[in-house]
Chains A and B, each alone.
Chain A
């Protein structure tokens, strides 16, 4: 049966003499972390692909979605498979930074444009021949760290303690945050680490308390970031708490409960889409995404992580029609044209901000890509 279908396709292609590729669908390969430690980020991303447009520029799109189990080796294997077996025109992925970094070589070697959904700036910086093929939708940590430091200065915070994951996420945040904070004259009095599945952070919390900081920043993602904050409150800490945008999902609020009231964090505007002022261009796009996601998966289910996938889809939707004018899907020329079209993106409104790419900048976000949010009454509240 399958063989017959293939035969018919070949005949049809031959019949058309290769002049019109009616059957040349656009193939988009996706590798994301739907299982393993990053599953809480990967699952909403995976869900988002079910909502993506099925045609781009009048051509049918196939999304081939593979799970890399938050594992670097699997992510690379998936990328090779997508390129060699599925002949994809573009790759979206992966969810986490180590995976995305490892995929760069493979994507660049096969001259296939890749859109990463992970945060670290080093995925697209410094720009070189390989990274020319790589784009990313999440904001740089530096943008978010600068927002936190600005808020701290406005709140007259003089000393701050940091506690973060003992992995790339916590380390990345420490680098960005300590750099900006020290430049602006904020003193960092403690720097602690803990592991995502840890059941206790008493030791770290005691050390932070003995340093008596005005504020504490937790560099963690998802529900594990609640543990230090709960422990600090339990031991009577009264200062201001800051979190990173990694916690921006409903599960964090559920687990942290009333202990997280008053916490401040930077986030993509999609988190508080309905509170954005009407004149904010991001509002409409963000609300469209939240509406679609919650229409399918239930109220309150949308998170900022899924929106990174949605933005990747929007970037493609914007670039594919341009590329289709130059070449046909499935050819190296098309992939090259698609890369050029992606780089040519100007002032495209996404759920997380407004992106303008250049040959130097493959993130393309400015101040519009972040808002400060406060946790109030068990919900996110936009801080003006």
Chain B
């Protein structure tokens, strides 16, 4: 064990940790705003990565059909709501956002050959396909039971997770995929080689975290989300729609997930079911932050990444055991230091 190995393991741990940190932030955000423990968070990682790789292979990704299908279901639900409340004027807008936009996207993808597009366009198309799915899932699965208990919302999360895993297998097949790297650069630091792609992951994660910070501090929607997280009823009295906040937080979670997937797809093989484990490690980070504190959750996620990297060197067979055992002392410490408030029955 010399310095070079420590450096390489550290670099590897921080790269995975950066991704876990992004997911931990998304989990904290969703939980704070909607009280949903968002188990399917990881699926967006897999969907983002595999959608991009389908595009690069010149295939129409299955997520497009999912988007169209969910869009139609949301339109149906929203229009029947509008009819019942005599708000006919909303119908064209509902149709445009939920059916028109996905169909335009499908038309565009059918018209061009996606494999020949420049990489940034492929990434943009991937995000355009995967991100709205987050909001649509909120509308269909969570909004009707938004006032239910945390346990009920958790059970729905498990159901959504299982459904998305099944769809992932159907869309992308059982075997994994990789995407072409964004950069082939590598840097020489002492004896260690630093891959440009891993630097990109860390930098992009940092940029996203800073962007999220400004979003929450400086924009009206970000502030509305924060207000809802602090006090749902109070926020509603101030005219902030809980439904809007829910959709927005899920859309952000999907954006973070899909973006993480796009980032890591060139450095590792992603499978239709990879997301769950990645999301789970983000969840360990979020738990360290008590599902409430963003900075502690991010730091916890980096810790998980480092722990994973070093334990894979010392005891590879027990890597997952070590990572997930971490949660027990953390839970103990949290339950000893914080007063438990009984949730509504």
Chain A residues with a Cβ under 8 A of chain B: 35, 37, 39-40, 42-43, 163, 166, 192-204, 206-207, 210, 222-224, 226-227, 234-235, 249, 251-252, 254-255
- The answer to whether A39 touches B174 (Cβ under 8 A) is yes
- The answer to whether A202 touches B12 (Cβ under 8 A) is yes
Q: Which residues of B contact A166 (CB under 8 A)?
A: 316-317, 319-320
Nearest CB of chain A from residue B25's CB, rounded to whole Å: 18
Within 8 A of A (CB), among B151-195: 166, 169, 173-178, 195
Residue of A at shortest CB range from B12?
Answer: A202
Assuming the A-B contacts A39-B169, A197-B271, A197-B273, are A223 and B175 also in contact, with contact meaning beta carbons closer than 8 angstroms in the complex?
A: yes
Q: Which residues of B contact A195 (CB under 8 A)?
A: 277, 319-320
Assuming the A-B contacts A200-B312, A202-B312, are A224 and B166 also in contact, with contact meaning beta carbons closer than 8 angstroms in the complex?
A: no
Roughly how many angstroms separate A254 CA and B178 CA in the complex, as a whole number? 9
Q: Which residues of A contact B54 (CB under 8 A)?
A: none
Q: Is B5 an interface residue (CB 8 A)?
A: yes
Nearest CB of chain B from residue A235's CB, rounded to whole Å: 8
- The answer to whether A203 touches B174 (Cβ under 8 A) is no
Chain B residues with a Cβ under 8 A of chain A: 5, 8-9, 12, 15-16, 19, 166, 169, 173-178, 195, 264, 267-271, 273-274, 276-278, 308-314, 316-317, 319-320
- The answer to whether B309 touches A203 (Cβ under 8 A) is yes
Assuming the A-B contacts A194-B312, A199-B16, A203-B9, are A255 and B273 also in contact, with contact meaning beta carbons closer than 8 angstroms in the complex?
A: no
Roughly how many angstroms separate A192 CA and B319 CA in the complex, as a whole number? 11
Nearest CB of chain B from residue A301's CB, rounded to whole Å: 11
- Of the candidates A35, A192, A249, the one whose C-beta lies within 8 Å of that of B175 is A249
Nearest CB of chain A from residue B297's CB, rounded to whole Å: 20
Residue among A199, A223, A234, A252 having the largest count of chain B Cβ atoms under 10 Å = A199
- The answer to whether A202 touches B9 (Cβ under 8 A) is yes
Q: Which residues of A contact B270 (CB under 8 A)?
A: 199
Q: Is the interface of B mostly helix, strand, loop or mixed?
A: helix
Residue of B at shortest CB range from A209?
Answer: B5
Q: Which residues of A contact B278 (CB under 8 A)?
A: 199
Residue among B195, B267, B310, B312 having the largest count of chain A Cβ atoms under 10 Å = B312
- The answer to whether A200 touches B175 (Cβ under 8 A) is no
- Of the candidates A40, A200, A252, A255, the one whose C-beta lies within 8 Å of that of B174 is A40
The 6 A-B residue pairs with the shortest CB-CB distance, nearest first, are A203-B312, A39-B174, A203-B313, A251-B175, A40-B174, A202-B12
Assuming the A-B contacts A166-B316, A223-B271, are A203 and B175 also in contact, with contact meaning beta carbons closer than 8 angstroms in the complex?
A: no
Nearest CB of chain A from residue B30's CB, rounded to whole Å: 22
Q: Which residues of A contact B269 (CB under 8 A)?
A: 223-224, 226-227, 255
Nearest CB of chain B from residue A350's CB, rounded to whole Å: 25
- The answer to whether B8 touches A202 (Cβ under 8 A) is yes
Nearest CB of chain B from residue A252's CB, rounded to whole Å: 8
- Of the candidates B5, B16, B169, the one whose C-beta lies within 8 Å of that of A200 is B16
- Of the candidates B166, B176, B178, B316, the one whose C-beta lies within 8 Å of that of A193 is B316
Q: Which residues of B contact A203 (CB under 8 A)?
A: 9, 12, 309-314, 316, 319
Q: Which residues of A contact B5 (CB under 8 A)?
A: 206, 210
Q: Which residues of A contact B308 (CB under 8 A)?
A: 200
Nearest CB of chain B from residue A193's CB, rounded to whole Å: 4
Nearest CB of chain A from residue B272's CB, rounded to whole Å: 8
Residue among B9, B166, B311, B319 having the largest count of chain A Cβ atoms under 10 Å = B319
- The answer to whether A197 touches B274 (Cβ under 8 A) is yes
Residue among B174, B274, B313, B314 having the largest count of chain A Cβ atoms under 10 Å = B174
Nearest CB of chain B from residue A324's CB, rounded to whole Å: 37
Nearest CB of chain B from residue A322's CB, rounded to whole Å: 37
Residue of B at shortest CB range from A250?
Answer: B175
Assuming the A-B contacts A251-B175, A255-B177, are A35 and B166 also in contact, with contact meaning beta carbons closer than 8 angstroms in the complex?
A: yes
Nearest CB of chain B from residue A18's CB, rounded to whole Å: 46
For the complex with contacts A194-B312, A195-B319, A197-B274, 12 further pairs of A-B residues with Cβ separation under 8 Å are A35-B166, A166-B320, A193-B316, A193-B317, A193-B319, A194-B319, A199-B274, A200-B12, A203-B311, A203-B314, A222-B175, A223-B175
